[in-house]
Structure formats: structure tokens, C-alpha cells
A and B are shown apart, each in its own frame.
Chain A
Amino acid sequence: METHIRDITVEDIRKWLKEVVDPEIPVISIEDLGVLRDIRKEGETFIITITPTYSGCPAMDMITLNIHKKMRECGVPHFKVETQIAPPWTTDWMSEEGKRKLKEFGIAPPMGNRGSEDLINRHPPCPFCNSTNTVLVSAFGSTACKALFKCKDCAEPFDYFKCH
């Protein structure tokens, strides 16, 4: 595909980046996750700004790499990926679409917003049977962003994407 730089718009970049997903939760795009913060054009260069979820999140390097890969595939000649840490990432930035996809994938999406003192003692509905008769097993799950819960009705353990 031969694309000229003058033909590429910020909207094209946004569309292509929808295919860049969280490597640990491959159903959710970095835009749905709230990691993609901004796309702008400076001269001939597209500046793509992302923000890390957690400070130690090992997925960030992979995400940066995948953005580079995607931009090259799409023939974007000049681009730069910038990481910005302030304001800090929050699950409040996750899209409704993203939350729906998480649930389908078997991960309970973040419940409500931040702002409550008690971030973890909530009862996220079980992604398998929708019961709210659920109990926290551990505030830290298989990745930094998740907690481990158990459903007391269907007895399935499940990941809960923590409010952050």
C-alpha cells in the first residue's frame, strides 16, 4: 500500500491504533484501556502519547513496540511515541466498550469510580453468572491491575480489574 504522508490524518492513526491491544488482555485496545492519551501532528511527525497503567507494568515496553510495528505496517513515515505519566492513569478513563469486552473475556470490569476510601472491599458481579455474592481472595492478581475474587454462587474464581 502506497500512502503519502499528506494523505494520512490523525483519524487514520487513531483507527490503526485500535488494533494495538494490551498484550496481557488481548481483547482490549490501548484506547479502550485509556492508555492512549493523545495523537497530534507536529510538522510531518505524528506524536502518539501513551501513559503507563502501573509504574512497574511490564506491558508498557511491549505496547510501545507494538505501536511502532503497527505504524510501520501502515506506512507512517514519521512518528514518535511519547510516554507521559501526569496526570496519572485511572480506570475512570476506560471506555464502556472496553468494560464490556473485559467482561466477555471473563474479567470483571472496574466497579464505579475511584474516590472511595475503600478501593477493594466491593462486590463486583461475577463475569460468569452475574451474582454479586462474591468475595475478595487477594487484592493482587495475575497482573498489577487485577485483584482475585471468588464467586460464592457458581464457585468460580475470577479476576477483577481494580479501580485505580
Chain B
Amino acid sequence: MNESNTIDYLMLLADSSLIMGQRLSEWTGHGPMLEQDIAITNISLDTIGQARYFYQLAAARLNEKSGNADVTEDTLAYLRDAHQYKNLLLVELPNGDWGQTILKIFFYAHRQKLMYEKLSGSADAEIAGIASKALKEVEYHVSWSSDWVKRLGDGTQESHDRMTKALEYLWPYTGEMFVPATYEKNFLENEFSFDVLKQGWLDKVSGILTEATLSLPPADTYMHTGGKTGVHTEYLGYILAEMQFLQRAYPGCEW
């Protein structure tokens, strides 16, 4: 196994989790009601916690390779630029309204669940360990977001219309989850098939969308890609500017 593929793959996992969590944390203090404000903040906390494990592991592997000790979870999160980030485009998109945020969590969590199930059995024991821990947390994200998708899709005319709009906006960003980057394909080798992963996801997601009275967009919808290789939307730069400002302006600052 080529170690640089593993590190790139770890960065994909870490960056996607971190940007997901950073985006969701924007809801903290702004949720539509206290209980849901707390829920989304907890989901954000889970994904940031998962990101930390992946960054810590990536840092350890990078230091092992170089013989130095200069890489830490913080240097990876705070001192890389947008083109070095490998996160999925889906997670960097603006939150939009509550419905759009819910739908983003829904698409992402269902895919994370299936992927972590596979990774739990990875030949790389450390990645398998993080995956089996993350899996248990993601199960709650899946059930929470699925309930909300049903409630909003099959809710009032207003909530249904908003969910339809959110679906149109987000759907073209879901394809990237199932198109492996070269390093990803190399790392996973024969661990699992992306076609099977995609079909499993589609089955789950379309069943719930139907229950929510929302119709699946056409199968030939154009899908955006690029995040996994550092080609991002304009939104990522703004997220990083806010998230990294302090460490850039005051290197090494702690509080």
C-alpha cells in the first residue's frame, strides 16, 4: 500500500468532516427552536470530533514518514489553503434555510453511515477504529435528519416547496460522494465497490424522499466534482478565512 494514498485519503475524510462541522456550527444560537439548535450543534461537535481523529492520524503518519514532529492536527486544519483541502463540495455549500441544511445532513449522513460500515472492516486498523466509533454517532444523524426530511417534505405547502428547491440545489453535489479520486481508489483498492455504495445510498435516500412526497431528480442530472482534488466552489475560501484567521494572524495562539 502506498502511504501517500493513505494520507491523501485521510485528508479527504478529515477535511470533509471538519468543513461539515464548521458549516453546521453556524446554526449555533440560530436554530428554529432550542431543542433543534442543540441537536444541530451536537451533530457539528460529532463531526469536528471525527475530523480531529483523522487529522491526528494523518499528522502521526506524516511525521513518521518525514522523521520530524512538525505536523499536528492544528497545522493541518489551520495552515492549509483552499486548493489543499480535499473535502466534498457538498459540505462547503452555504447552509441556506433549515430545510436545505437538513437535506445536506441527510444526504451526507446516509453516505457516511454506509462508508463507515465498510471502513470499520478496513485492513488499516487505525482507520477501522475511527470508523467504527464514528459510525455509532452517524447513526443518530441519519435518524434525526431522516425524520426531519419526512416532516418538512410532507409538511405544509411552504415546507414542501422549500424542500423541493433545496433538493434541486443540492442534488447535483451528491454525485461526487460516489466518484472516487485516484488516491481514494488506490487506498481502497478492493475494500469496497463505489457502485454498490451508491446503490445502497440511493435505495435508502429515495425511499425516504418518496415517503416525504418529494420526487427524485432525473438520473442524468449533471454532477459537480472537484472537491476531492482541491478544486472548490468560491464558498470554501470564506469558510477558511473565518476559521483560520486567528492562527494566521497570531501563529501558535492558544486560549
User: Contact residues of A with B, CB < 8 Å?
Assistant: 52, 54-58, 85-90, 118-120, 137-144, 148, 162, 164
- A139's partner among B50, B52, B144 (CB-CB below 8 A) is B144
- Is B129 among interface residues, defined by CB-CB distance under 8 A? yes
Q: Tell me the bound Cα distance from A58 to B49 in angstroms.
A: 9
B46-A86 in contact (CB<8A): no
- B53's partner among A55, A140, A162 (CB-CB below 8 A) is A55
Q: Tell me the bound Cα distance from A164 to B46 in angstroms.
A: 13
A–B complex contacts, Cβ < 8 Å, 26 sampled: A54-B49, A55-B50, A55-B133, A56-B45, A56-B46, A56-B47, A56-B49, A56-B52, A58-B45, A85-B129, A88-B132, A88-B133, A88-B135, A88-B136, A138-B35, A138-B36, A138-B38, A140-B38, A140-B39, A140-B41, A140-B43, A140-B144, A142-B38, A144-B137, A148-B38, A162-B140
- Is B81 among interface residues, defined by CB-CB distance under 8 A? no
Find chain B residues with CB under 8 A from A57 CB: 49
B45-A138 in contact (CB<8A): no
B140-A87 in contact (CB<8A): no
Q: Which of A89, A140, A148 gathers most chain B CB within 10 Å?
A: A140
Nearest CB in chain A: distance from B223 CB, A: 30
B120-138 interface bits toward A, Cβ cutoff 8 Å, 1 = contact, 0 = none: 0000010011101111110
- Is B191 among interface residues, defined by CB-CB distance under 8 A? no
A87-B137 in contact (CB<8A): no
- B133's partner among A58, A86, A144 (CB-CB below 8 A) is A86
Residues 142-195 (chain B) with a chain A CB within 8 angstroms: 143-144
Number of interface residues of B (CB under 8 A): 30
Having A120-B143, A140-B42, one finds 6 other A-B pairs with CB under 8 Å, namely A55-B50, A56-B47, A88-B129, A119-B143, A138-B39, A141-B38
A139-B39 in contact (CB<8A): yes
- Is B139 among interface residues, defined by CB-CB distance under 8 A? yes
State the majority secondary structure of interface residues on B: helix
Nearest CB in chain A: distance from B88 CB, A: 19
Q: Tell me the bound Cα distance from A142 to B135 in angstroms.
A: 21
B140-A85 in contact (CB<8A): no
- Is B48 among interface residues, defined by CB-CB distance under 8 A? yes
User: Contact residues of B with A, CB < 8 Å?
Assistant: 21, 35-36, 38-39, 41-43, 45-50, 52-53, 125, 128-130, 132-137, 139-140, 143-144
Look across to chain A and name the residue whose beta carbon is closest to the beta carbon of B21: A56
Q: Tell me the bound Cα distance from A54 to B140 in angstroms.
A: 12
A86-B125 in contact (CB<8A): yes
- A55's partner among B46, B125, B128, B144 (CB-CB below 8 A) is B46
Look across to chain A and name the residue whose beta carbon is closest to the beta carbon of B47: A56
Take A120-B140, A144-B45 as given contacts and tell me if A55 and B39 are in contact as well, using a CB distance cutoff of 8 Å: no
Q: Tell me the bound Cα distance from A58 to B52 in angstroms.
A: 12
Q: Tell me the bound Cα distance from A115 to B228 in angstroms.
A: 34
Take A55-B46, A55-B50, A148-B35 as given contacts and tell me if A86 and B143 are in contact as well, using a CB distance cutoff of 8 Å: no
Q: Tell me the bound Cα distance from A143 to B38 in angstroms.
A: 9
A119-B140 in contact (CB<8A): yes
- A137's partner among B35, B46, B48, B49 (CB-CB below 8 A) is B35
Q: Which of B42, B49, B130 gathers most chain A CB within 10 Å?
A: B42
Q: Tell me the bound Cα distance from A90 to B125 in angstroms.
A: 19
Q: Tell me the bound Cα distance from A164 to B52 in angstroms.
A: 20
Look across to chain B and name the residue whose beta carbon is closest to the beta carbon of A121: B143
